[in-house]
Amino acid sequence: MAQFTKFALALSVAAIAAGPALAEGEVNIYSYRQLDLIQPLLDRFKAETGITTNVLFLDKGLVERIKAEGENSPADVILTVDISRLTEAKEAGITQPIKSAVIDSDIPAQYRDPDGAWVGLTTRGRVVYASKDRVAQDAITYEELADPKWKGKICSRDGQHSYNIGLFASMIAHHGEAETEKWLTGLKNNLARKPDGSDRDQAKAIYSGECDLALGNSYYVGLMMTNEKEPEQKEWANAIKVLLPNANDRGTHVNISGVAMAKYAPHKENAQKLIDFLASGEAQQIYAEQVFEYPVMPGKEPSDIVKSFGTLKADTLPLTDIAANRKKASELVDKVGFNDGPEM
């Protein structure tokens, strides 16, 4: 996976560096989304339009890079993985309004920036992976993760990762900063080890018996279950069941993937074509069937694998409330020493 990403990045950087030599039939994408997750969409887009997509994948510093490039930036489209990064791009002044009757018609207003700075494309749940063999219960709440009965039994990736910051920010919005600090301290003390690895690695840790529960995004389970290149990931996925937290009260925390048009997009027409395609019903179906995310377009169903997790009752907390509490959430992660792991 790491080799594939580095190879794709090398190709992408070379293509984008070509600058003015690029043909009109191309569009440049700066992406926080890993290439393997968006490649099926880009392949279909090229097949239908003939437009080549050049992707620069960055796991950090995307906004800073575009700001530094200024008016000479080759970026046309920005793809990112949560509301906080979409908001960050808008506030940094590196986007321009998306004007599209297609999007206004097909994408609900709750998934569109009021000023047109970004459009949400999919949602995903921040769920709990649980051992099929060692966890009997089939329902859970986020609040319960701080219960001492789970001491030494929970795994997590880095607390400062945007996926976790989004969840922690939602807890602040629901319970306030003081209560969330207590909860986060309890969660930390229930960890089996220091936070580490990806969401897939948390499933692997459950498979190996290192922990019984883990926080993870819902779509990774589908990706693991269908991974033909790394069949061991199927074993990890088969060792876990997905619990949709707070299904019996406020609902499961969800976040979005989304798209924005870069402020100085040199291929603005092609950028708009790509954005319209990514928001289309066809693309929504690809998200569902191949990326295992929840489509935001009304009437589009998730895949059968995702349906097997149960009916998602999404928390109705406004995404802007999550973004507004992101800084506080990050500060709490450091304050409680979450990434230091449990106190021994």
What pairing do the DSSP bridges indicate for beta strands 77-80 and 95-96? unpaired
Sequence letter at residue 283? A
111 in a known ligand binding site: no
From the number of C-beta atoms within 10 Å of its C-beta (0-12, 13-18, 19+), residue 144 rates as middle
DSSP code per residue over 73-89: ----EEEESSHHHHHHH
Residue 239 CA to residue 212 CA, distance in Å, equals: 10
Distances (CA, A) of 177 to 139, 169, 327: 26, 9, 11
Strand residue runs (E) in the chain: 26-31, 52-57, 77-80, 95-96, 119-131, 154-155, 213-217, 240-243, 254-262, 294-295
219 in a known ligand binding site: yes
Residue 119 CA to residue 299 CA, distance in Å, equals: 18
Q: Specify the residue for token string 């910051």.
A: 165
DSSP 262: E
Q: Which residues lie below 8 Å from residue 192, measured CB to CB, with a gap of 6+? A: 152, 153, 154, 155, 205, 210, 211, 342
**Which residues belong to the annotated binding site for Fe cation?**
219-220
Known binding-site residues equal 219-220
